Chains A and B, each alone.
Chain A
Amino acid sequence: MIETKNIDFYYGGFHALKNISMHIESNSVTAFIGPSGCGKSTFLRLFNRMNDMIDHTRMSGTCLINGENIYDKAYNIEDLRRKVGMVFQKPNPFPKSIFENVAYGLRVNDMGDKSFISERVEQSLISAALWDEVKDKLKKSAFELSGGQQQRLCIARALAVSPSIIMMDEPASALDPISTSKIEELIHTLKKEYTIVIVTHNMQQAARISDKTGFFMLGELVEFSDTKKMFLNPENKQTQNYITGRFG
């Protein structure tokens, strides 16, 4: 499970995240909602330290995954990123074959031999509900797939390295409604084995698929509660305004 305490995050002089504390249970689906630029993606990227790639950033507070401080100097970043998988807003498969895309994480982390890799690729593609559509063309370029298929490929790619947490940054926002619903189904299935955190600006989506929801605004975590409660009976006025479409 994921635990953050008093997280403050700065891009240079800009205070992007203000004193965020939250607790996420394992094997649940948590959604982050809120208007653009409110910090939800930034917060998401804390968990696999993707923000480290950006210069002039500063963070204070603690972030623990399964009890371990992932920002500890001794903590292996590459290992962290294997265990915390990420799916991006726009599908970003590598210019490689479908097979090689899924196998990439395994090769890069030196996980197993040829037969193990083959097996894992198949399993991941099955888990991502893509196997039947691509099993006959594994050697073809990933770019030949449709947008929705490419995104599921990216999910399979993340699954292949056996993460425990999967983070999705607006995974369906670039896709058509049918692909979107396929992915939402997928999330529902995956939650049995993984902890899923998903950023979305689509409130209906959040309501459909998540167990808990966090509402962010201007870098603050305004409200964090069970999804049903958040959407039917929010505690905070701002949350209510956002949900009913008064702004954002």
Chain B
Amino acid sequence: MKKFKKITERVVESIFTISGSLTSIAILLIVVFLFKEGVGLFNSPSVEKGYVLCVNSENSIDKLSVIQIKEIFDSEVVDWKDVGGKEGEITIFRFDEIFNIYSEEDLGEDYGLLSAKLGEVITSNLNIIAYLPQEYAPVGIESVKLLPTESIGVADFLGGKEWMPTATPTPLFGVLPLILGTLLVSFFAILFALPLGLGVAIYLSELASKRTRKLMKPTIELLAGIPSVVYGFFGLVVLVPLVQKVFHLPVGETALAGSVILAIMALPTIITIAEDAIGNVPLSMREASVALGASHWQTIYKVILPYSRSGITAAAVLGIGRAIGETMAVLMVTGNAATMPHSLFQSVRTIPATIAAELGESPAGGAHYQALFLLGSILFIITMVISITAEVISKRQPNKGI
């Protein structure tokens, strides 16, 4: 009987040991899956899957960049010479148009003659550029040239200034506007939250009476517990109209509204950690200061705050992390414009909001899907870096001279 007990104990204890690695495995899995689903983006063709671009063989152009294709199909560029070719007005031909030119009969049974007819159209127009499904593309015809489709490049992704994942023929996956939007909103959120949070932390640990502290601590915990979507709702219904009115804007959905809501959401984190840091200043420091004739306030800003510098910095860093990762509140309040942000008073999109808004509509495995997973990977890396930075900072001892 005793042996049986011992065996069960061994088993249970090894289960415990294995569960110790749970969180590490979880992080590993997250990394693997995020990157696995995302990295395929750089092998994806830049033209929408299953489609090709054809031009007349006489066209001097051999290839076009993603931006150029977009500009052509948006009619921003109208002449071949603007993309390095011979002068001639670009004629855009989309696949559907073939049905306007030829009747069902002409195209043959099961559309057997469709390919040939497309070939005829292209051959007859020197300045044409045709956007066709791969299966009907007129390959092998001398007068038709297929433009090579490059795969999406890392530089286009990381440095591209336009995020238009549903554009045809070439969706654009430039994440710069999203990264900048995220940074803009988070930066100002911390700008608002840090002084406020630090002030409240000082109030709580140095000035408030025991009773006040007992009342305020649950208040702050409560603020921390309100769900993101409720903050978003409040922001949508109260803050956004307020911003619109006060600043005379056409719409209130702005980066400013996002920053304010994020600031409120980051406050509890900053307050709690900063208060902890301030409370850890040893009594001997305070006594030394007071014994020399310093007032309470002088002691606070000359000794206590410098001493708790690293804790306060950790609080700020963690607050930033919180702000950057917020999804729902920002989504509901900053509007829908995934464009390069120029000011606080315009609509922006952050990385988390983009993922939340677009993932549902992107076909699984497609380029858009992969791009969103890559965005998720970037977000993951940013928050990891922030988390580790905060850990390192808070371990630092205050023994540098000031």
Pair from one complex: yes
> Which residue among B287, B292, B399, B400 has the maximum number of chain A CB atoms within 10 Å of its CB?
B292
Residues of A within 8 A of B399 (CB): 95, 141, 143
Q: What residue of chain B has the Cβ atom nearest to residue A79's Cβ? A: B293
Residues on A with C-beta less than 8 A from B90 are none
> Are A158 and B292 also in contact (CB < 8 A) when A94-B285, A96-B306, A108-B298 are?
yes
Whether A88 lies near B284 (C-beta < 8 A) is yes
Determine which of B293, B306, B307 lies in contact with A78 in the assembled complex, contact meaning CB atoms within 8 Å.
Answer: B293
Q: Is the CB of A50 within 8 A of B289?
A: no
CB of B303 within 8 Å of the partner chain = yes
| One of B282, B303, B307, B401 near A97 (C-beta < 8 A) | B401
A109 contacts the other chain (CB 8 A): yes
Chain A residue numbers with a CB within 8 Å of B285 are 92, 94
In whole angstroms, how far apart are the Cα atoms of A100 and B284 in the complex? 17
Known: A92-B284, A108-B298. A139 touches B292 (CB 8 A): no
Residues of A within 8 A of B284 (CB): 88, 90, 92
- Is A161 part of the binding interface, using a Cβ–Cβ cutoff of 8 Å? yes
A40 lies within 8 A of chain B by Cβ: no
User: Separation in Å of the B280 CB from the closest CB of chain A?
Assistant: 13
Check if A141 sits within 8 Å of B293, measured CB to CB. no
Q: Helix, strand, loop or mixed for chain B's interface?
A: helix
Given the complex of chains A and B, what is the CA–CA distance between A54 and B282 in angstroms? 15
Q: How far is the CB of A46 from chain B (nearest CB, A)?
A: 13
Determine the residue in chain A with the shortest Cβ distance to B307.
A95
List residues 156-182 of chain A with CB under 8 A from any CB of chain B.
157-158, 161
User: How many Cβ-Cβ contacts under 8 Å join chain A to chain B?
Assistant: 84
Q: A-facing mask of B245-257, CB < 8 A → 1, else 0? A: 0000000000000
Nearest Cβ in chain A — how far from B143, in angstroms?
80
> Within the complex, what minimum Cβ distance (angstroms) separates B191 from chain A?
27
CB-defined interface of A81-122 with B at 8 Å, one 1/0 digit per residue? 110011010101111111010001101110000000000000
Which residues of B are found within 8 Å of A85, using beta-carbon distances?
A: 291-292
A143: chain B residues at CB < 8 Å are: 399
Interface residues on B, range: 20 to 34
How close is B292's CB to chain A, nearest CB, in angstroms? 4
Determine if B293 and A140 form an interchain contact, defined as CB atoms under 8 angstroms apart: no
Given A97-B402, A100-B401, A108-B298, CB of A92 within 8 Å of CB of B287:
yes
Q: Is the pair B295, A81 in contact by a Cβ cutoff of 8 Å?
A: no
Residues of B within 8 A of A48 (CB): 291
Query: With a CB–CB cut-off of 8 A, which chain B residues contact A105?
Result: 292-294
Contact A157 B401 (CB under 8 A): no
Whether A53 pairs with B287 at a CB distance below 8 angstroms is yes
Chain B residues 218 to 272 lying within 8 A of chain A, measured CB to CB, are: none
Residue from A53, A81, A95, A104 having most chain B Cβ neighbours under 10 A: A95
Set of chain A residues within 8 Å of B167, measured between Cβ atoms: none
Chain A residues lying within 8 Å of B216, measured Cβ to Cβ, are none
Q: How far is B251's CA from A196's CA once the two chains are assembled, in angstroms?
A: 73
- Given A92-B285, A95-B307, A108-B302: A81 in contact with B290 (beta carbons within 8 A): yes
In the complex, the answer to whether A161 meets B293 with C-beta atoms within 8 Å is yes
Does chain B have a CB within 8 A of A243?
A: no
List the interface of chain A (C-beta within 8 A of B): 48, 50, 53, 78-82, 85-86, 88, 90, 92-98, 100, 104-105, 107-109, 139-143, 154, 157-158, 161
Interface residues of B (CB under 8 A from A): 282, 284-295, 298, 302-303, 306-307, 398-402
